[in-house]
Structure 1
Amino acid sequence: MLNNPLNLRQVEIFHAVMVHGTTQRAAEMLNISQPGVSKAIQELERQLGFALFHRSRRRLVPTAEAHFYFREVEESFAALSRLRSAGARIRDFGSGQIRIATLSALSTNIVPRALVRFRKRHPDVSITLQAHLSATVKDLVAARQFDLGLAADEIDVTGVDAQPFSTFRGAIALPDGHPLTAKAELGPEDLDGEDFIALSPEDTTRQELERLLAERGSRPRMVLETPFANTVCAMVQAGMGIGYINPICAEPFLGKGLVLRAFAPPASFRTLLIRPPAMPPSLIIRDCIAAFEEELDATRTYHPLYRSGEEFVPDT
């Protein structure tokens, strides 16, 4: 049983002697004197309570116990090397993983394309991605369970750092062959009496649209309500009615039974990028945010999926 804690410098010197074979070579590699090496080995032997070397003709010959001990030291040195590497990665990049939560509307378009950009720069970073309702995204980020979140602007931003991320002009999604597809642009009066698939009441874009419709006396007939834009598109595609959506959500449905038409005056879809409070972003987080912004710019510039009959391009 050891009376005092081990001196790690002595263990390092023992390791050097075992690796390089002689006290002279170990002294050269560690930039210390040869007597200093010998003294450290003797002190370590006293600490351990057994001999590490046989002294024969001014040479040190490792004992069987030394070989056993060296195996343990090698494992410890490998662990220390991993700790040093981890420290360097955290210093330069932060954690080797990133956790992202997003509202469903961006989970099948901007986010996956942005993460492809990000992963090309950081192929060794592990990514966790989950799609949730915006309120859940906010809660996960506020609790520091996720590093980044994309949420609709309807959320209460108390407890998170929030910044505007995107604003898209909405569009009307129509089943292919619907009479309103004959028009290049639709207005509030065109929605009067139409079977309508609506987003949830707390959605700020729905609220804005309802104000526009009320001002014109237009009253669509709501037949289904859902928090998910992808569900709106699927129900429109199935022929249940029409809906007002963020056009990027229509990408998988265009040309497959769904068409888009511009709507004026428009109601916009706005999203926020949120992070845990009082936590400066690491380089990895900053690079991920940059990838999101680059993909957003690419989407805003022009995307062929926004063409449906007449050209429809989202707001920049």
Structure 2
Amino acid sequence: MNHRQVEIFATVMRAGTASHAADLLGITQPAVSRAIADLEKSVRFSLFARIHNRLVPTPEARLFFRDVEASFRGLDTLRSSAAWIRDQGAGEIKIASLSALSSSAVPQAISTFQKKHADIRVTLHVLWSRDVRDRIASGQFDVGLAADEIDTSGIHAQPFATHRVACLMPKGHPLSLKEVIEPADLAEVPLVTYVPEDRWRQQLDAAFAAANVKPKIAVETTYSSTICSLVSQGIGVGFVSPGATGGADISHLVVRRFEPKIIVRVLLILPLDRQKSLLVREFIDCLLETRSAQPQAS
């Protein structure tokens, strides 16, 4: 049994006659008859009774045709699936991001992406940079954004963005009159900052230590969006990268430069041994487009 024989059999069943089937297939009627005879030898039961030079399907043929149609429907589904994948790529994209870009660059890129691919499901996890790296290395996620402190072995990494840590405070705060904030200015000021494990926090601690200033920590948290919310509530002065304020309402907030300069570098990371799908390539394009509109450290 081969696919051509089955195709000719199915065409005869649908057409009703061998001559009509031959016309539909673009072959001769004897070729149709030979294919049916060969298929009957293969399945070892009669498919048609020859009555007055017509092929009349046997009960066995009708039963066999039911399964043939099911298999053809399966092929049609596969063809449709292949066409959809060709046009749309894989049907899901999974992103892991560090907190600093999870409320600004990444949501903006997702918005741009879904305007073109509204039916594609997007998953976004906000994680520590080391966890972003591990999810990408294991192939659980398609695209990652992580601080450059991570181990880049076993992944593909490229520079994505460079930000400078800034001070965030409510409008009307006494320090908002200054253009540049230094550790000495914050000696008695409640601070909202990242948890001690965060690399940015460690650089801030080093800056305060070098100035011989003991910071007055009011709240420690893991998310930049939470820092923005806490500062807007007047709890204290916060530290964020300018890009982290992109998704926040900053109408009641003021951003000021902090000295000494603390630079944060972000990497775009991908699984090492996986070919990028069409969707992943398009999403990366959206990220790069968003990056061009984000403030970068000089």
Alignment of 1:130-145 (within 5 A): 130-145=125-140
Query: How do 1:41-120 and structure 2 match up within 5 A?
Result: 41-90=36-85, 94-120=89-115
Is the contact between residue 102 and residue 244 of structure 2 (CA under 8 Å) also seen in structure 1? no
Q: Which structure has more RCO (C-alpha within 8 Å, separation ≥ 6)?
A: 2
TM-score, normalised by the number of residues in structure 2: 0.87
Aligned partners of 1:170, 1:86: CA distance in 2, in Å?
A: 47
Look up the match of 1:178.
173
Q: State which of 251, 257, 269 in structure 2 corresponds to 1:255.
A: 251
1:144 shift after superposition: 0.8
Structure 2 residue ranges without an equivalent (≥5): none
Please state how far the C-alpha of 1:188 moved relative to its aligned partner: 3.1
Once the two structures are superposed, the pairs formed by residues 284-299 of structure 1 within 5 Å of their partners are 284-299=279-294
Spell out, residue by residue over 1:184-243, the C-alpha distance to the aligned partner (whole angstroms, 9 max, x if none). Answer: 332333222322222133433333333333343343222332222122223223333212
Kept after mapping to 2: 8 A contact 1:23/1:34: yes
Q: Which moved more, 1:84-93 or 1:49-58?
A: 84-93
5+ residue gaps in structure 1? 1-5, 301-313
How far apart, CA to CA, are the structure 2 residues paired with 1:130 and 1:263? Answer: 29
Superposed displacement of residue 179, structure 1: 1.4
User: Once the two structures are superposed, what CA deviation does each residue of 1:102-124 show, in whole Å capped at 9, x if it has no partner?
Assistant: 22332222212211211233334
**Following the alignment from structure 1 to structure 2, what is the Cα–Cα distance between the partners of residues 13 and 156?**
60
Do the aligned partners of 1:154 and 1:203 also contact (CA within 8 Å) in 2? no
Aligned to 1:228: 223
Please state if 1:209 is matched with 2:204: yes
CA distance in 2, matches of 1:209, 1:226: 14
Q: Which amino acid aligns with 1:255?
A: S
Return the alpha-carbon distance in structure 2 between the equivalents of residues 193 and 124 of structure 1.
52
Instruction: Using the TM superposition, give the Cα deviation of residue 134 of structure 1 relative to its aligned residue in structure 2, in angstroms.
Output: 2.1
1:307 alignment partner in structure 2: none
Deviations 1:69-112 (A, max 9, x none): 32322221121122234345555664222221222332222212
CA distance in 1, matches of 2:134, 2:204: 27
TM-score (norm 1): 0.83
* Cα 1:74–1:27 shift into 2, 3 Å: same
Question: Partners in 2 of 1:260 and 1:289 — Cα distance?
Answer: 29
3-state DSSP of counterpart to 2:38:
helix
- The offset of 1:294, in angstroms, is 0.6
Which residue is equivalent to 1:12? 7
Aligned partners of 1:191 and 1:219 also within 8 Å: no
- Contact 1:153–1:204 (Cα < 8 Å) also in 2: no
Match 1:129 to one of 109, 124, 128: 124
| Aligned-partner SS, 2:294 | helix
> What is the rounded CA distance, in whole Å, between the counterparts of 1:119 and 1:135 in structure 2?
28
Distance of aligned partners of 1:126 and 1:212 in 2 relative to their CA distance in 1, 3 Å threshold: same
The residue type equivalent to 1:59 in the other structure is R
Aligned runs of 1:139-178 on 2, under 5 Å? Answer: 139-178=134-173
Partner of 2:297: 315
Pairs aligned (count): 297
Q: What is the aligned-residue identity percentage?
A: 44
- Cα deviation for residue 287 of structure 1 reads 0.9
